[in-house]
Amino acid sequence: MSSPQDLPALGIDIGGTKVAGGVVAPDGTITDTARRATPGTSVRATEDAIAAVVEELAERHGGPLVGVGVGAAGWFDRTGDTVLFSPHLAWRNQPLRQDLGRRLQRPLWVGNDADAAAWAEYRYGAARGSDLAVMITLGTGIGGGMVIDGRLQRGAHGVAGEWGHMRVVPDGRLCACGNRGCWEQYASGNALGLTAREVATSSPAAAALLLERVGGRAERLTGEDVATAAKAGDPLALELLAEVGTWLGQGIADMAAILDPDVVVIGGGVSVLGEMVLGPARERLERALPGRGFRPGPTVVAAQLGAQAGLVGAADLVRRAVAEGTA
């Protein structure tokens, strides 16, 4: 008889625009995928989309599946049963595990998508073998997760890993969380676009190449525009990316003072820019690490699993939960 560790599982990654699912083998390989649009304004319709992806994949797979792991953008309670808040979906204090368990009738793990991605990198990717791994997801904002001694850490209230809301600039830029000066206002995709718009508005001549991309309309510049220009060698775009990398390195240095991780894995959309961001981040970390010269700092590496990390991690977490009797 097969043990849970020998069976494939379904992983579901819920974002603001899509529900992506996959059949994930025990070695982390994805053998089949499916997706649906995310109807973010309706709780019931979102759950319908999740159920549809699960049913499609299970029917095509045909064989036994250990369970379903679901990672979603949002704040979960300590148990993972309830979504306290989701910025892009309609969930507010929603008993998601109970609702989906009733619908799916399968063993279930539910939690934050960045936690699931962190677990995937620990199990199969850039953080394998780490004693204390931190993952930072750089996208629109900054999120992440943490694995210590082989256990995913959710925090006392379930919302650990919201690194983006560390305050790095007193009375700095206003953040959507309600505070000012949060890290993600300086080291994220949104921050990259915001800085580009500020420079293009105050110094159009310096930003001439960037402005050509948006018809001279500074307010249309996005982080993606800057990234594309940087790949083409635009000096200003490269400088703006280096600034984001420097802020990233400063934040990692601050985290190292508290957590002392051996590895920091950088994932999310901005991470695909590689050394244009990671190089300046490492340089800043080396200069800003508390006790530098007398202690080792963390290794900073790019994530290996890309956009599929969330569903891979969620699948492995339900496999682990079944083995431990907690699913």
**Mean pLDDT across 52-79:** 93
Domain with 47 in it: what CATH number?
Answer: 3.30.420.40
**pLDDT tens per residue across span 9-38:** 999 999 878 899 999 999 999 999 999 988
Whether 139 and 232 map to the same domain: the answer is yes
pTM, rounded to two decimals:
0.92
Whether 138 and 248 map to the same domain: the answer is yes
Model confidence at 91: pLDDT above 90 = no
Whether 290 and 142 map to the same domain: the answer is yes
Whether 152 and 110 map to the same domain: the answer is no
Model confidence at 1: pLDDT above 90 = no
Q: Are 244 and 162 in contact (CB under 8 A)?
A: no
**pLDDT tens per residue across span 42-53:** 888 899 999 999
Classify 100 as helix, strand or coil.
Answer: helix
Using the 8-state DSSP alphabet, how is residue 2 labeled? -
**pLDDT tens per residue across span 273-312:** 889 999 999 999 999 999 988 999 999 999 999 889 999 9
Residue 69 has a pLDDT of 97
Q: Are 175 and 185 in contact (CB under 8 A)?
A: yes
Residue of 66, 39, 41, 63 lying closest to 52 (CA atoms): 39
* Domain boundaries, position 149: 129-303
Beta strands in the chain (DSSP E): 9-14, 18-24, 30-37, 68-72, 75-76, 83-85, 92-94, 108-112, 132-138, 142-148, 151-152, 263-267, 299-302
Q: Which residues contact 93 (CB under 8 A, 6 or more apart)?
A: 82, 83, 84, 85
**pLDDT tens per residue across span 248-262:** 999 999 999 999 999
Whether 188 and 268 map to the same domain: the answer is yes
Residue 43 has a pLDDT of 87
Considering its fold, how many domains does the chain have in total? 2
Whether 52 and 141 map to the same domain: the answer is no
More confident residue, 125 or 40: 125
DSSP 153-220: ---TTS-TT-GGGSB-STT-SB-TTS-BSBGGGTSSHHHHHHHHHHHHHH-TTTTHHHHHTTTT-GGG
Whether 202 and 294 map to the same domain: the answer is yes
Q: Which residues contact 213 (CB under 8 A, 6 or more apart)?
A: 221, 225, 228, 229
